[in-house]
A and B are shown apart, each in its own frame.
Chain A
């Protein structure tokens, strides 16, 4: 042959400075190990996952609100919000409900199992912008999971924030998550308002919707306009009620953050499964301010 078509081998090309820009590491997953599994409720378990390689573990950093893709060979790969504090780097905690094929398999996995971890992906809650402000954490059901990471961050730097309220509702007392931490959160001067829809005989707390607690909270302060941020996560129906109430109480849209859930198959803006209109939940989310959400059709 006098002349040939050149073969372009992307694996031989120098990668980008960061892993995300290097095409050759697109499918790379960090080997990680499940170091312990706690049952939180009948269906949710808290998995502690540690990146095996020490250098990688220390290098792994994320912001509260971001998510990782967890892979089990032959079973699947799925996105999960990180529930642990960013200061713990590659020792992650993921709270996962056994609900589909992947998570049901995961619920049968024992400690010591090797999993693949990629990420972190997505946007985060701007906890540093919230310094010297009141923060309202509002969660419904599993929504507490992505909120635990910013909450722990706030607890670690408690003196930098003003009043912190956690308003959390679940269907029944048995479905409340992280119950073992409530006393500790209260010790950090956090106003914890917990409510359930269907109380059982042992329940001595509040019953009803979280909007009732929120209404009382709003009544306590003159206005939410100046010194308040809100972080909201829950089932799709909850967003609209809560966000409307907060906007009605004067909370500016750009100070209200929501974490959205969508189906994802890549986490890297390629599979399109998580699109809301033109926006990728994996790249432009999962954390959106309320203005962006209002601006997106069919987001909530």
Chain B
């Protein structure tokens, strides 16, 4: 990895260079009822709109690489004959400006299941291959438990990662395009002082995580506690609304639906992201539902995140961003659920 430092005011120059592409970054969308700002990822056209000191966004950036609704293919129908046309809906690179480490790690995890298995998913792969990611160091929030999940720092999956050193940024460069873009602004090699300052900043940040999720032997514990009362308790609270999956950076389950055009000359196949907490998730034709109550669906969600993915890829699918807990209408948070399953309350 190559390290550089540059003045904070140089960042707008980098933004201008990259503005030849679609830039997606954190922007403030409004305030919540406590008058705290609410952030979200959106397309940014002006450097001034970027809220780089954002705490955490309500949604992850997944709508830009895994849209909630995406047309997978279209059909040209001519009486009984038809022709299928497939479009992966990607035509140009996208720049992600200011992603936190958890979101970068979420992409790395999605890469494992969506691109590194049999039948790689081209819709995701296309968008993922055409992402230019500038990561940004963050300040741990009360809901963040990424340190427990081992996703508080990103080692790969980005092009450039910036850490705030006061009046300048410490840049980790991971790709040739990133190096070439940076060479067009005023950068310096980090001095010994910069390096020490960087290490200090990282250390200070590490002391500020105060939410934990005990992952020791978690996959095994989940199997042992399959019949635990905790699932019923938390499942009873769950409203099966699917908010958690909507804001989750790693939830990728989907459903496919086909529609006939109104002129009957065409049809389309559309993918909608789904949630395993929704009632019809495992319902089959004929009406049998393999997970009919909210408790089994909630349990399944935790099983997929913390056990199933662990079994397949030796890591958890959860990145500990805490968005699901923040958005949950019933106040269900992963650290609380896991600790009650582990009898640690």
Contact = CB atoms under 8 A, between A and B. Distances in A.
Contacts, number: 163
Nearest to B276: A272
B307 interface: yes
B181 A283 contact: no
B304 interface: yes
B285 A21 contact: no
Which applies to chain A's interface (DSSP): helix, strand, loop or mixed?
loop
A278 B304 contact: yes
Interface string A262-300: 110110111111010111000100000000000001100
A195 interface: no
A5 B118 contact: no
Interface in B289-307: 290-291, 296, 300, 303-304, 307
A278 B308 CA distance: 4
A262 B121 contact: no
Nearest to B285: A100
B328 to A, nearest CB: 20
Interface string B226-242: 10000000000000000
Nearest to A264: B284
Contacts of B282: 262-263, 273
Given A271-B254, A272-B252, A74 B267 contact: yes
Contact of A23 (B120, B288, B311): B120
A297 B118 CA distance: 24
Secondary structure at the B interface, as helix, strand, loop or mixed, is: mixed
Nearest to B81: A114
A166 B88 CA distance: 47
A113 B120 contact: no
Contacts of A2: 180, 184
Given A73-B77, A275-B304, A297-B223, A10 B267 contact: no
A114 B82 CA distance: 8
A73 B82 contact: yes
Interface of B: 20-21, 72-73, 75, 77, 80-82, 84, 86, 88, 92-93, 95, 113-115, 117-123, 125-126, 129-130, 132, 177, 180-181, 184, 223, 226, 252-261, 266-269, 274, 276, 281-286, 288, 290-291, 296, 300, 303-304, 307-312
